[in-house]
Amino acid sequence: MKIIIIGLGNFGMSAAINLSNTNNEVIAVDINPERIELVKDQVAHAVAFDAKKEAAYNSLPLKNTDLVVVALGDKNGAAIISVAIIKKMTDAKIIARSSSPIEDTILEAMGVDEIIHPENEYAEKFTKTVNLGGSIDNFELDDDHLVSEIEVPKNYIGKAIKEVNFRQEYDINIITILRYHKKKNILGNSYKTKQVLGTPGPDTVLEKEDVLVVFGKDKNIKRLIG
């Protein structure tokens, strides 16, 4: 996908890097040149400009973009101004960060496709991660079941899935595996990116740094990660 991210605070910076590392073409925008310097080698392109000035948006390929993420986190209406400008220039999907309930209402009225609250959402995930020590990320399906990302346990590195017997031993299904690979950005610098291996077979051998995406009950995932 071709994605533009406007605002490189903690959330915007993290989103830009992670989306770039997962084979998306990312353009990152921020008013602060120092933030542009931090991210410029990790995304396709990085631009410094004031998101509240409409003329600045002419430097962006908005008409050829699939998704625009407005990640501005201040409370002075910058996100609302940015969304208004973007909607005049493109039909791309827009995801906007909101800082308050009133901003939610305004963004909804403007027809934003999705509104996010990174701090609240992170707090919920963090709580589950703390309660389920050893997991990386989790998605709850109900009070008992969840999809969880976990690092492959050390004692299973080098073993095939059929040797571990995840279903028999833990009543857990492996949905897929995320595996790190080295890539180079447009400037030739190396960085790590995660590749989804698809549906792993019984002969798939688990490697160091693999991330297992598993489905099961809280208690069984806790048993697996010890």
pTM, rounded to two decimals? 0.59
**pLDDT, position 147:** 82
**What's phi and psi for 182, nearest 5 deg?**
-85, 135
Look at residue 22 in the predicted model and tell me its pLDDT. 83
Round to whole Å and give the CA distance between 177 and 211.
6
Bridge-based pairing of strands 211-217 and 145-151 is antiparallel
Tell me which H or E stretch contains 37.
helix 33-39
Tell me how far apart the alpha carbons of residues 91 and 109 are, in angstroms, rounded to a whole number.
16
Q: How many CB atoms lie within 10 A of CB 126?
A: 11
Bin 147: left if φ > 0, else alpha if -120 < ψ < 50, else beta: beta
Domains belonging to the chain, first-starting first, are 2-116 (3.40.50.720), 122-225 (3.30.70.1450)
Q: How many residues does the chain have?
A: 226
Q: What is the pLDDT along the chain (226 residues), one digit of tens a residue?
A: 999 999 998 889 989 998 998 889 999 999 999 999 999 999 999 999 999 999 999 999 999 999 999 999 765 788 999 999 999 999 999 999 888 878 888 899 899 999 888 766 655 554 555 554 555 565 666 667 778 888 899 999 999 999 988 988 899 989 889 887 776 666 666 666 777 888 888 999 999 989 898 898 888 888 888 7
C-alpha span between 135 and 16 (Å, rounded): 23
